[in-house]
Amino acid sequence: MKEKNKCRAIAGIVYAIGLGLILTAFAGCKGPAGGVLTIGVVNDVSILSPVVDGFKAGMAELGYIEGKNVRYIYNGILESNQKIIDAEIEKLLSQDIDMFLTVGNQAALRAKYAVKGADTPILAGACFRPIEAGLIETMRRPGHNITGVVASGTTSKALEWLKMITPGLKKVYLPYNPDDAISISSLSGLDDAASKLGIELVLQKVHSVGETVIAIRNLPKDVGAIFMIPSSTLNSRGSELSQAAINRGIPMGASVPLDKDVLISLGTDLNDVGKRTARLAHQIRQGVSPADIPMETSEVFLTINLKTAEKIGVKIPDVILAQANKIIR
């Protein structure tokens, strides 16, 4: 009897140890923390909306199911106005959100100022030149309870691609809204890049898509191409501008994924930016301080539209097509 009791005791100890090891293993598995995670979304740049879609998809892949263990408070695309953005941020803070997802620079900066001194994490999706913009301290250690994914600076390289597919290009029309912070930031250093390529940029201040379409129709004959940079004013209706360029028979390049008709674009995969940002949200949910999570940089993709090339009579060399990530035929 004593032997049986001894055996049972040993078996019980072994079982307890085994169960403990299993529970420890499960406790170490990474997954959504308990409770419902509430995320407030702030977006004032319509062209960057795929970031939000990618973020939600990435969160779902990580086990965060909307309506079950994650809740998004997103009131749609805001007017690009500081007072309106500030009011939305304050409204979200009053709803006890666990973290912010901001899209673009302005929303991230306004959220940073709003939560100064508080501990609400900020995920900055598709921000641009965040150090120069005053959003973070360094890429490796962002600080300010902020982390996120930076939209790669493709403006100068995109202009170079436009030059490569347009032999003899000398003058390039570039419309921009002086009230678009993202456009002004994109223009920084572009004159020098254009000069090295032997290109003269014909800059024009515009305030609407309609104004830009009219300008494209009336471009001087010596302007050989159009170049689009990120713009909250113009990018959301990029198809109208691309069509105006096609009607004018002139190549259009872009440093942002503009629309399906633009001839050539080199830009960030915004859906991928969202998914990358979701992984950072997961780290924060697991207890890592956002200030200590290095900012990531997005990948860039070259897209060439052969349909548009045919319409305007441009021949894209095979050596360039071979380097494209996506070709629209």
Choose between 225 and 185: higher pLDDT. 225
In whole angstroms, what is the distance from residue 250 CA to residue 308 CA? Answer: 10
| pLDDT, mean of residues 134-141 | 94
> Using alpha carbons only, what angle is made at residue 176 by residues 155 and 51, rounded to the nearest 5 degrees?
60
- What is the assigned CATH class of domain 37-151+270-299? alpha beta
- Banded pLDDT at 41 (limits 50, 70, 90): very high
Domains 37-151+270-299 and 155-268+302-328 share a fold: yes
Ranges of each domain in the chain: 37-151+270-299, 155-268+302-328
User: From the centroid of its chain, how far is CA 147?
Assistant: 13
252-306 residue pLDDT tens: 999 987 788 999 999 888 999 999 999 999 999 999 999 999 999 998 899 999 9
In whole angstroms, what is the distance from residue 266 CA to residue 289 CA? Answer: 33
Question: What is the identity of the amino acid at 310?
Answer: E
**pLDDT the model gives residue 13:** 43
| pLDDT, mean of residues 176-182 | 87
Tokens representing 241? 């501008």
| pLDDT, mean of residues 231-239 | 84
- Banded pLDDT at 9 (limits 50, 70, 90): very low
- Banded pLDDT at 15 (limits 50, 70, 90): very low
In whole angstroms, what is the distance from residue 5 CA to residue 288 CA? Answer: 48
**pLDDT the model gives residue 16:** 42
Spatial strand order in the sheet of 122-127: 70-74, 37-43, 99-103, 122-127, 146-150, 296-297
- For the cut 60, the answer to whether the pLDDT of residue 311 exceeds it is yes
The CATH H-level superfamily of 155-268+302-328 is: Response regulator (3.40.50.2300)
Choose between 233 and 311: higher pLDDT. 311
